[in-house]
Chain A
Amino acid sequence: MGKPVKLLSALAALGLLSTAASADVIKVGVIGTMSGPYALFGKNFKMGIDAWVAENGAKVGEHQVEFIYRDEESPNPAKSKALAQELLVKDKVQYLAGLYFTPDAMAVAPLLEEAKTPLVVMNAATSAIVEKSPYIVRTSFTMWQNTVPAAKVAKANGSKKVAIAVSDYGPGIDAETAFRKTFEAEGGSVAEAIRMPLNTTDFSPIMQRIKDSGADTIFTFLPAGPPTLGFVKAYIDNGLKAAGVKLMSTGDVVTEPDLPNIGDSGIGILSTYHYAVSHASPENKAFLDQLVKGGGKLDEVTMTSVAAYDGARLIYKMIEATNGQRDPEKALAAVKGLKWVSPRGPVSIDPATRHIRQNVYLREVAKQDGKLINKEIQTFDAQPDWAMSAN
């Protein structure tokens, strides 16, 4: 950023130029896991946003857009709130975005209305987040959205008795509730429901307990990151896979960067998710090409990059609709009902809930050209957030 731009933005911050619509800088604060064990996903936020900016330029009309990144390495609501406050007060951001963990997103929500700032959630997946403020819109997914198809698939594949094992926090409890409700409605039964603390690393006792419960299928959700690998390995190494106990999960448990570590013994694991890096469409190909061109590695791409890419699209749309003014109602109105084709497939923003509506795919871990991928084998069209919409 050059000196004149800095000066102008400083003046704008003082309100002297607040009515002028030209040559200003609109700042977007992105809070993401840029360091720590979940850093890969923060990196993907940046990769996705960079891809969008590379394709569409750093300007919307006359307005320069600038993304400011802040690091939140763990689920830490107090720190997230402080970061958001700093971005709002000191940096005068007009939009907030990012947020990997639900508790962090929840902590930021109360600030939005006061600061008249829309928030684009790019990962955190508990349904209730959007209820915390009318200024929240989400481009990632919700646990209900991905879990309801998982329960249907499990039933269709002949599972009768299931053991549910989820991480003990917001999205985990959403996943448990969603699976239980759907699976029982379809006539199945739940033998065991285990809530695992977020910092669990030894899953062997949990596997043994599941085995003792006599369940024929495990449904699991853990946030994508270090623990998921341990869970899948424990499932294989404790002999549950060999004994024919099926594993059904949301895609968080088999994100692409983890597949090489799981190895060939992971082939055949089923999951339901809104995005697979292997998704076959021209949009996805262009998106991935752009990521690679921007310096990203294909082996490191996760779902948060596509959520960030689509999130940047919404932010550009909101800036365009308000002509750079701070008008959150108008901004939100501009994206409600918006439809487009994302790298993950056709999507739209549900005007009632501000959740993204999207296809959810059933995927199977498979080997293609010597590389493990999530191969999409079935599509559930235009899934809403099942917690809030009836259809």
Chain B
Amino acid sequence: MPDIRYNGRAYPLSDGQSVLECLIEHGVSVPFGCRSGVCQACLMRAETGHPPEASQKGLKPALADRNYFLACVCNPRESISVSLPCREGTRTPASIVGMELLSSEIMYVSLQPHELIEYRAGQFINLYQAENLARSYSVASLPTEDPYIHIHVRRVPEGRVSNWVHDALRPGDTVDIQGPNGDCYYQAGSPEQSLLLIGTGSGLAPLYGIIRDALAQGHTGPIRLFHGSRTPNGLYLTDRLRELTQTYSNFDYTPCLSGEPVLKGYARGRVHEIALSKLSDLKEWRVFLCGHPEMVKNAQKKAFLAGASLKDITCDAFTSHATFR
């Protein structure tokens, strides 16, 4: 039975257990977020032994080369000694410079990192509520046009971080952030390609960033955004997006509501079903899917069957572990 050695102690790893599960089971407090190998909040480093390849998926090569790994998806076959990355190396303090409620559920937060963070609109950062508690938020701002980093925080029922943002965080406060992470962003080089963007709830944040990035870089092909929610409270920036359709003839925006009531100006139904019913041939299209994991998964399949190549479909599913809100 392999051991996980951490801080001078050895913890036996049960069959099929991840390093993170093992440490938590033994009462060791380490940071984590999504528990799905996505958010990178549980980043650790192997001091001895090699982390399995699967636990390094999505890490920057520079980190993978130095034996960093994600504890939540690390199932080592042999004993390893692990440590937390030095705090200075990965986290940056940031000042809250602005906050605004965009709808009853969505809080816009503007952050000024204390050191330069190079990011692309659509990537995500981790926001720390406490030393060991982080959540991932996609970036809606554009580094070339906005002086600060913008995120949209949807209030999740019983969500520990989102409720803290809505109820306790105030402009002037300082928080820790880490990032950027992820490959959900606009890639220049095919300005005539058609873009389809489908999002639910605060999945609009990365899409809004990607759209502005594409337009700023002179994208000439059609850009079609479908934003969905059950109720109007989950939709936001509708006026701003309608304005954008006036300014750019190649940009098109369809807000969708899947629940009651039926409102004028909104399409009725599930957002990805509406999008795919309007666009039946996605051959050569670039597709971005952000938000609810079920929507992202279903839309990925439908987009592929409609002709989009898998490599041209970028998925950003908001994972949340039910017991770790």
Indicate, yes or no, whether A interacts with B: no
Interface residues of B (CB under 8 A from A): none
Interface residues of A (CB under 8 A from B): none
